[in-house]
Structures are given as C-alpha cells and as structure tokens.
Amino acid sequence: MMLSAQALAGPPDVQGTSVGVGLAVGQRAMALSVPGLDHRVGAWPGASLDLRQVLFQPESLPATLELRLQGSFFRGTSAGNSFDAPDGLVSQRYTARGLIGLTRPMGSVELTLSSGFGVDATMVTPNADYTGQQYMHVPVQIALRRPFGESIFAGVELTAMPVVAYNQSSSFPDHNAFGARAHVSAGWRPSPDGFFVELGYAYQRFLTYLPLSTGERATSVDVAQNLGVTVGWAR
C-alpha cells in the first residue's frame, strides 16, 4: 500500500508510478479433516514485489484507472506434520496477483476498488501423502489510504477471493472454496516524490469443502499470515 504524504485536511495525491520491494517473515497452518492431516510452517522468510501504475487519468473526473501487480515468495521447513511423512520437508509458497482498479479521493482518504486474477500456491517436497495446495482466484478488493501529517501514511486493504480452480497434491478434486485477506500498513515518506518505507501485516484464510464418495465432505482450513517491510520509490 503506497500513498504520498499530504496534510491531513487535504486529499492524498495519486502517484503515477510506485515500485516497492520487501522482506517478510510468514507462517502457514493448514488442516484437512479427511484423511486427517495438517501442514505447518512456523516461520519462513520471504520477499515481495509491489508495482502500481496509473493507466488513465481523465482531466474531467477526480479518478484514475490503475494497474497493480503483486508477488511474493516464501521458503521454509515443514513442522508438526500429521501425515505419514518425516518432519523437515522443504515447503515453498508463492503468490501472484494482477488488479485493475479505480481510485478516487474522498476527503482526506484515497479509495480504490479493484478486481483481477490471482494465484496462491504452497508446494511441499514430493512424498506419498501431501504435496501442497494451489488456489486460482478472482480477488475483489477495497483499499483505503490516508496521510497523517506530511510524511506518515497508513492503509487498509480488504479482499474477497472466490476460488475458480483448486489443486491439491497434483489433483483437481471437486471443490467449493473461498478466501479472504486483510492487510494493514503504515509508512513514512519524507517527500511527495521519491523514497518511502512501509511496515505491513497480512492475514489470509482459505476455506475449502471437498465432497467425498461416501456422501460426506472434507474441510480444508488454510491460514497464512506475514509481517514485512517494504522499501520503494514513487513519483
């Protein structure tokens, strides 16, 4: 989340281009009711990229059309597996998301409504029981950004993520899945154009229902969270 610093009484400027790279530490906890397994990574380091570009800004309207591209990668060691595989399996998680959004100022707040396509995938070292899950989803997001004084800014993003395709251990079972994500951040920018630094926390949850041949259904609850620092440049 990136925002130029403005006086609290005035609307924030919409930056034409903003690029941020970051480092983060995250956790993952997944539980699948049938056959009864879980996958956890207590703390895995990661990196992120966040690009925001204004595509169109009509002079007659107080709004801009924007493109936002985001990605992240985490790698760590599995722990506490209840499936029949040794602890210490290497796990990786990557996310990629592209959004088209409409941004406009509302008083001292910048509001963005956006949607697009995203992928969230966890991969585990090949074994006989569980090798990961992948969610292809259509994010629908609302974002609020607000300056506090001349150099501090804060933001909130709330995202609904209906899943359109689901992969579990290299298979594509019937499913009914939905995800949600919340991200809060605060940052510092010494001047309207140029360097910024931002601290952010994200919490994400996917809930998946999987029908079984017995007529019952299995449930997968997949929770990921991370805390990260982003450094970037905007103009």
Residue 7 covered by a domain: no
Choose the most confident range, by mean pLDDT, from 9-18, 90-99, 128-137: 90-99
Residue 143 covered by a domain: yes
pTM of the model: 0.88
Rounded Cα distance between 172 and 220, Å, is 14
Rounded Cα distance between 72 and 28, Å, is 14
Residue 129 covered by a domain: yes
> Tokens representing 164?
């359109």
Range of the domain at 194: 16-234
**74-78, 100-104, 161-165: least confident range:** 74-78
Residue 8 covered by a domain: no
- In the DSSP assignment, the letter for residue 189 is -
Which pLDDT score is estimated for 169? 82
| CB atoms near residue 54 (< 10 Å) | 15
- Please check the confidence at residue 7 and state whether its pLDDT lies above 50: no
Say how many domains are in the chain.
1
Residue 145 covered by a domain: yes
**67-71, 119-123, 148-152: least confident range:** 148-152
Which pLDDT score is estimated for 11? 43
- Please check the confidence at residue 12 and state whether its pLDDT lies above 60: no
pLDDT band for position 6 (50/70/90)? very low
pLDDT band for position 36 (50/70/90)? confident
Which pLDDT score is estimated for 37? 83
Which pLDDT score is estimated for 214? 77
The CA distances from residue 35 to 26, 31, 80, 133, 171, in Å, are: 26, 10, 16, 15, 15
Give the pLDDT mean for 155-166.
97
Which pLDDT score is estimated for 32? 87
- Please check the confidence at residue 10 and state whether its pLDDT lies above 70: no
- Please check the confidence at residue 2 and state whether its pLDDT lies above 60: no
Residue 82 covered by a domain: yes
**CATH number for position 147:** 2.40.128.100
Q: What is the mean pLDDT of the chain?
A: 88
The percent of residues in the chain predicted with pLDDT above 90, rounded, is 62
Rounded Cα distance between 49 and 161, Å, is 20
